[in-house]
Amino acid sequence: MFQTSVNSYKPHILIADDSRGIVQLLRSFCEHEGYRTSEAYDGFQAIQMTQTLQPDLVMLDMNMPKASGLDVTKAIRSDTHLFDIPIIMLTGLTGREERLKAVSAGVSDFQNKPVDREELMLRVRNMLRMKKMSDLLQEHNRELEDLVQQRTRELEKVLAEVTEANRSIHEGYAETINRLAVVSEYRDEDTGMHIKRVSLNSREIASALGMDSGYVENLGYAAVTHDIGKVAIPDQILLKNGSFTDLERSLMMKHTVIGAQMLSGSNSPYLNMAEKVALTHHERWDGSGYPNQLSGETIPLEGRIVSLADQYDALRTQRTYKPAFSHKKTYDILTLGDQRTSPEHFCPEVLSAFKRIHLRLEEIYQNFQDSLTLEDSLADTLSN
């Protein structure tokens, strides 16, 4: 397997062919390029060595004793630990049906016999490059999964402590939300007052839509944890001062799914709604959002409301990549659009409610500037 932390790592290639002369020839090609090699002289041996050594690439003949190249390929692809290893089939087959069978079995690429060294090495380099990228992605995914599990255990411990310490259900869940928000916002550039403003903005929009007081109150609590999934995003991505790579952007977007997973499985109406908010507050009415590209009314109402409430405050607030915008400019961006934002991103009813009460959001922004500590601002938010 690739070890990305060791720059001197040499990829390992297993060569399987019943002809020792061909094996030695291929070995010389590979070692000349700086690759490590192992040899197998029948199909059964090739399967065993692949399972034991887990090479970075397998190069095998179509016709071998004990097990054919197709049998070896099927055995490798049936093992989840070996599934991603690229396989180059050495063959004299030119028929379409035979090649289709090989591709169906899981062959990655072909090399006709007699072997052309330059062509073969080009195919090997391409396959190894793809394998390296696959290994890097798997490594990132494993690190992310480990981090999610670690943070989830920490949050579960916090929830258990809060439940034990508070006899009042209302106070217990309010304190839980407070702690969850502290965990997420301490690691981000957002402040406690950003949380308070998004919560108050969401309440105002929900009230303008005619929602009952219970819904408005629950949404105020739920909006506090809209970005809780960011606790699982590595600091070098979350705090990056500059543009994301495609991989970094993909990992950053996972905070919605991670946040929903962290908040799932509760009997609390606050946390049930918070789960929906965490998952859907970056979905867009026109289907261009994430993580599931939901559109229209398939997006829960609470997600549609917090999406606009959060976007308003983000536009008003200075970031590393943008200045703070005035209320008028923010209003124009949300209602008319610009290069990044379009009115089609928002639910028409929610946008209409925003237009009716937009001055109230301006008042909230002016009244709750970034002056209080995170804990104080959250406590104030949850007590209202």
CATH code for the domain of 321:
1.10.3210.10
What pLDDT score does 243 carry?
83
Which are the contacts of 327, defined by CB distance < 8 A and separation ≥ 6? 316, 358, 361, 362, 365
Three-state SS letters, 4-48: CCCCCCCCEEEEECCCHHHHHHHHHHHHHCCCEEEEECCHHHHHH
Kindly state whether residues 216 and 361 are assigned to the same domain: yes
Tokens for 183? 């965990």
Nearest to 306 by CA among 339, 272, 266, 279: 279
What pLDDT score does 154 carry?
80
Kindly state whether residues 101 and 244 are assigned to the same domain: no
Per the domain annotation, does 355 fall within a domain? yes
Highest mean pLDDT among 68-82, 325-339, 365-379: 325-339
Nearest to 185 by CA among 25, 370, 38: 370
We report the CATH number of the domain holding residue 128 as 3.40.50.2300
Q: Which of 111, 134, 157 is the last residue of a domain?
A: 134
What confidence tens digit (pLDDT) does each residue in 162-194 have? 666 545 555 555 655 665 665 555 555 555 678
Which are the contacts of 302, defined by CB distance < 8 A and separation ≥ 6? 202, 219, 222, 273, 276, 277, 280
State yes or no: pLDDT of 289 exceeds 90.
yes
Can you give the pTM of this predicted structure? 0.53
Kindly state whether residues 216 and 316 are assigned to the same domain: yes
What pLDDT score does 285 carry?
98
Per the domain annotation, does 148 fall within a domain? no
Mean pLDDT of 298-323: 92
Q: How many domains does the chain have?
A: 2
What pLDDT score does 106 carry?
84
Strand partners, 327: none
Lowest mean pLDDT among 65-74, 205-214, 240-249: 240-249
Residue in the structure block whose two tokens are 């950053």: 252
Q: Which domain holds residue 227?
A: 166-383
Please state, in angstroms and rounded to a whole number, the distance separating the CA atoms of residues 119 and 343: 53
Lowest mean pLDDT among 6-20, 123-137, 305-319, 360-374: 360-374
Kindly state whether residues 92 and 178 are assigned to the same domain: no
Q: Where are the extended beta strands (E) located within the chain?
A: 12-16, 36-40, 57-61, 87-91, 109-112
Q: Which of 134, 153, 186 is the last residue of a domain?
A: 134
Kindly state whether residues 351 and 254 are assigned to the same domain: yes
What pLDDT score does 310 carry?
95
Which percentage of the chain shows pLDDT scores above 70?
85
Please state, in angstroms and rounded to a whole number, the distance separating the CA atoms of residues 384 and 196: 10
How many Cβ atoms are within 10 Å of 240's Cβ, its own excluded?
Answer: 14
What pLDDT score does 164 carry?
63
Per the domain annotation, does 303 fall within a domain? yes
